[in-house]
């Protein structure tokens, strides 16, 4: 699709959510450690630290492009309910990329297997936002929420365009690698 002249990745709604812990602990569920030996790694963290969970829908609106929009949902299982799929079908029809969506509707595209970090929110946006938010050292949940909103609103259009070009590069590497890992490539 990215090589199709009429398709622009700027018309994809990328969504994701991430917790921001007041303690400063950063959730790293997508981290992978590759080693020929057991790394003997142990990480301690608070069990129930106060946190704010932020949800983003990231779309680069381009003035010179038609408004044919796609919706790319993350792979989280809790988002795969009949009610959610009916909503997608009503608003996006066959322009949905989500795990099990084609099985439900017979249309759209299935989320690529084993690709938790395909969305730009995962591989770029959360890190950039957390750097900004934690750099301001908020001390209450209210300050935290405010800092998250300010950080989200400070992301420039140029940054979003660069993020989209890196998304295309990630897709091309995924295709070239035949769905194998390419964790040593920095985007």
Backbone φ/ψ region at 99: left (φ over 0), alpha (ψ -120 to 50), beta = beta
Highest mean pLDDT among 73-82, 90-99, 107-116: 90-99
- Give the pLDDT score at 133: 92
Q: Assess whether pLDDT exceeds 70 at residue 113.
A: no
pLDDT band for 94, please (50, 70, 90 cuts): confident
Higher pLDDT, 178 or 52: 52
CATH 3.30.56.10 fits 9-22+49-177, yes or no: no
Q: For residue range 28-86, list pLDDT tens digits in order.
A: 555 555 567 776 766 666 667 788 888 888 766 555 555 668 888 776 666 778 888 88
Both tokens of 42, joined, read: 């142990």
Residue from 85, 93, 87, 45 nearest 68 by CA: 93
Q: Assess whether pLDDT exceeds 70 at residue 187.
A: no
Q: What is the pTM of this model?
A: 0.71
The C-alpha angle 145, 117, 168, rounded to 5 degrees, equals 105
| DSSP state, residue 46 | -
Q: For residue range 130-175, list pLDDT tens digits in order.
A: 999 999 899 899 998 999 999 999 988 888 888 888 888 877 777 7
Q: Measure Cα distances from 147 to 51, 150, 154, 159 in Å.
A: 13, 5, 10, 19
Q: Give the C-alpha separation, 151 to 74, whole Å.
A: 22
């Amino acid at each position: 699709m990215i090589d199709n002249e009429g398709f622009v990745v700027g018309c994809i709604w990328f969504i994701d959510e991430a917790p921001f812990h007041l303690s400063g602990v950063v959730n790293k569920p997508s981290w992978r450690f590759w080693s020929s030996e057991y790394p003997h790694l142990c990480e301690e963290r608070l069990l129930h630290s106060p946190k704010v969970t932020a949800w983003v829908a990231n779309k680069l609106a381009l003035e010179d492009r038609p408004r044919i929009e796609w919706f790319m949902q993350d792979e989280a299982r809790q988002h795969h309910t009949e009610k959610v799929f009916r909503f997608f079908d009503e608003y996006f029809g066959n322009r949905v990329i989500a795990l099990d969506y084609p099985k439900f509707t017979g249309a759209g595209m299935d989320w690529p297997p084993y690709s938790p970090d395909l969305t730009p929110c995962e591989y770029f946006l959360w890190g950039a936002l957390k750097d900004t938010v934690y750099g301001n050292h908020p001390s209450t949940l209210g300050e935290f929420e405010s800092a998250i909103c300010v950080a989200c609103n400070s992301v420039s259009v140029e940054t979003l365009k660069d993020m989209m070009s890196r998304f295309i590069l990630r897709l091309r590497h995924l295709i070239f690698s035949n769905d194998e890992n390419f964790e040593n490539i920095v985007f």
